[in-house]
């Protein structure tokens, strides 16, 4: 196992208890940040300066929103979903809809809405979500993960 303990994490008590309820521990958060550091893959909000990164170390995809102050990661939010993002199958819309706020750090371009492919329990479907028009990395907001995706996961699990 790689040692991620060198990553400086700051998280306040309220957020820590929320993440505990969501069953996300500091180890999961460190994995996302280590991945974002190593791969240089994250989104940045050009208005707030906040970062959002994700990785899928196992069957769960973890997302972490953070502020980077020096070498300290202040954790603002984290969420997860089980649905898997199939990268590299994005279909751009006929009329591009661009995000002003969120940009891809690696490609340094604003995100645009695309029809992206998601898969869960042998079902694959297309959903319109913001993504990087260059590397095709998909952006899943907290609201989408906790509401729409969670609902779809539940429906597929109950089938
Ligand atoms: Zn990109």
Range of the domain at 149: 84-100+109-158
* Residue 3 placed within a domain: no
Q: Are residues 139 and 118 in the same domain?
A: yes
Q: What's the mean pLDDT in 87-95? A: 87
What's the gap in Å between 40 CA and the centre of ligand 1? 10
Q: Are residues 154 and 88 in the same domain?
A: yes
Q: Are residues 59 and 95 in the same domain?
A: no
Distance CA 11, CA 76 (A): 7
What's the gap in Å between 67 CA and the centre of ligand 1? 20
What's the gap in Å between 12 CA and the centre of ligand 1? 30
Residue 111 has pLDDT above 80, yes or no: yes
What's the gap in Å between 127 CA and the centre of ligand 1? 19
* Residue 1 placed within a domain: no
Angle at 64 between CA 93 and CA 107, to 5 degrees: 45
Q: Are residues 55 and 116 in the same domain?
A: no
What's the gap in Å between 154 CA and the centre of ligand 1? 30
- Cα of 65 vs its chain's centroid, Å: 8
Q: Is 94 exposed, middle or buried (0-12, 13-18, 19+ CB in 10 A)?
A: exposed
Strands 8-10 and 72-81: parallel
Q: Are residues 93 and 139 in the same domain?
A: yes
Distance CA 107, CA 48 (A): 19
What's the gap in Å between 20 CA and the centre of ligand 1? 31
What's the gap in Å between 145 CA and the centre of ligand 1? 20
Q: Are residues 91 and 62 in the same domain?
A: no
Query: What is each CA distance from 33 to 1, 56, 99, 115, 152, in whole angstroms?
Result: 15, 12, 23, 27, 27
Number of compact structural domains in the chain: 2
Average pLDDT, the chain: 93
Q: Are residues 144 and 117 in the same domain?
A: yes
pLDDT of amino acid 7 = 87
Q: What's the mean pLDDT in 122-142? A: 95
Q: Are residues 69 and 47 in the same domain?
A: yes
pLDDT of amino acid 12 = 95
Give tens-digit pLDDT for 15-42: 999 999 999 999 999 999 999 999 989 9
Distance CA 78, CA 19 (A): 7
Q: Are residues 21 and 64 in the same domain?
A: yes
Q: Are residues 94 and 56 in the same domain?
A: no
* Residue 61 placed within a domain: yes
What's the gap in Å between 21 CA and the centre of ligand 1? 31
Q: At 41, which CATH number?
A: 3.30.2310
Q: Are residues 52 and 114 in the same domain?
A: no
């Amino acid at each position: 196992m790689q040692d991620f303990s060198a990553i400086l994490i700051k998280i306040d008590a309220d957020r820590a208890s929320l993440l505990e309820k969501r069953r996300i521990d500091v180890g999961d958060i460190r994995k996302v940040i280590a991945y974002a550091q190593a791969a240089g893959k994250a989104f940045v909000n050009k208005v707030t300066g906040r970062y959002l990164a994700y990785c899928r170390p196992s069957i769960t995809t973890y997302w972490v929103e953070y502020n980077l102050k020096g070498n300290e990661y202040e954790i603002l939010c984290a969420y997860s979903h089980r649905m898997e993002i199939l990268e590299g199958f994005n279909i751009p819309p006929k009329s591009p809809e661009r995000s002003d706020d969120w940009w891809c750090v690696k490609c340094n371009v604003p995100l645009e809405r695309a029809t992206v492919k998601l898969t869960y329990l042998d079902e694959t479907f297309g959903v319109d979500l913001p993504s990087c028009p260059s590397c095709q990395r998909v952006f899943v907001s907290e609201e989408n993960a906790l509401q729409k995706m969670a609902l779809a996961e539940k429906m597929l699990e109950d089938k």
